[in-house]
Amino acid sequence: MLGDLVRSLTIFCSSSTAKNLRSFPKGQVGQFRLNSFLRFLAKNSNAYYTKSPRIRGIVDGKLGVVGGRMLVIPAIDIRGGNCVRLVQGRLEQETIFSKEPVFVAKLWQAQGAKRIHVVDLDGAFSGVIQNLELIMEIAKSINVPVEVGGGIRNIDTIKRLLSGGVAKVILGTSAIYDTDTVRKALKKSGDRIVISIDSLGGKVAVGGWREITAVRSTILAKRVQEMGVKEIIFTDIKKDGMLKGPNVKGIKAFAEKVAVPVIACGGISTLDDVKRIKELEEYGVSGMIIGKALYTGDIKLQEAIEISER
């Protein structure tokens, strides 16, 4: 066993993943080294990993904690009380898929979803959450965790959501313009706070994607890591709602520079896309958000979950 482990570690240390570790925050690099090494062992199993039952047991058990099964997270975007989908965040390209978002949430739960992603589009565009009661109703009507974003810009709103049954709160614009709120939220609620980084051409977009900042997506990721965030949602805006496939290369490049789990979002349109995102698990991608393709029927949720959990 010791020989297998030493050989594994030697090869890992010469890999590109290990070389990138020097850019990560000091406070998190130790844990990420362990996570990366375990993922590396799992990927490169043929040479030595499967030959040592003890190593295999350690890795399998540890990966259940740091990696685990990749999540497929259905998205419910709410505007005017309806479940809608936009194209690249454009209001003029809205399609209403249901007037009963609560029913939709129950449907996704029944089909095996282990988390639901809810965005208050009215809140995202106005800067103040608009569909609070409806969101609370969704959270209380199902038994799986609900994460919520859109117009959440202050501690009081975060408290109301978390105390009202919402499992995780997503902050985006605040990560650029109100870092004090982000720090306070992280200090009080820890891993119940998720940061959403929406990227257009490598730059962060905020305010319902109407403003493109000068901040690079990877720079913001490093900033929020230093604040203590435990999970980041990364969205490629150009791909969102287009049904033309995700930017796999861009997601991989982002995840490689991030020392916390990344949820990929934008453009996942077929089961082949699900497989391609699944292959990024070793780089730290822990889940994917799927929206429009579920509503058009291009992807069946149960089939996507089956692929993600292999």
User: What value does the mean pLDDT of the chain take?
Assistant: 83
- Smallest CA-to-CA distance from 78 within 24, 154, 139, 28 is with 139
Residue 8 is predicted with a pLDDT of: 53
Q: Average pLDDT, stretch 148-174? A: 96
**Active-site annotation holds for 273:** no
Q: Average pLDDT, stretch 232-243? A: 85
Contact 234, 73 (CB under 8 A): no
Least reliable range by pLDDT among 58-62, 73-77, 175-179, 239-243: 58-62
- Alpha carbon 38 to chain centroid distance? 21
% of the chain exceeding 90 in pLDDT: 68
Residue 38: partners with Cβ closer than 8 Å, 6 or more residues away: 59, 62, 63, 66, 67
Least reliable range by pLDDT among 212-216, 227-231, 255-259: 255-259
Q: Which residue among 4, 198, 236, 273 is the active-site one?
A: 198
What confidence tier does 259 reach under pLDDT thresholds 50, 70, 90? confident
pLDDT tens-place string over residues 267-285:
999 999 999 999 999 899 9
pLDDT tens-place string over residues 143-160:
999 999 999 999 999 999
For the cut 50, the answer to whether the pLDDT of residue 63 exceeds it is: no
Judge: domain 71-308, CATH 3.90.25.10: no
**Total Cβ atoms within 10 A of residue 191:** 12
Residue 288 is predicted with a pLDDT of: 97
Q: Which residue among 77, 120, 122, 240 is the active-site one?
A: 77
Which residues make up the CATH 3.20.20.70 domain(s) of the chain?
71-308
pLDDT tens-place string over residues 96-105:
999 999 999 9
Q: Average pLDDT, stretch 230-242? A: 86
Residue 56 is predicted with a pLDDT of: 44
Quote the CA–CA distance of 5 and 56 in Å, as a whole number: 11
**Active-site annotation holds for 198:** yes
Residue 85 is predicted with a pLDDT of: 85
pTM of the predicted model as reported, rounded to 2 decimal places: 0.79
Token pair belonging to 308:
């993600």
**Total Cβ atoms within 10 A of residue 85:** 23
Residue 243 is predicted with a pLDDT of: 81
For the cut 90, the answer to whether the pLDDT of residue 2 exceeds it is: no
For the cut 50, the answer to whether the pLDDT of residue 260 exceeds it is: yes
Contact 216, 205 (CB under 8 A): no
For the cut 70, the answer to whether the pLDDT of residue 215 exceeds it is: yes
Residue 295 is predicted with a pLDDT of: 96
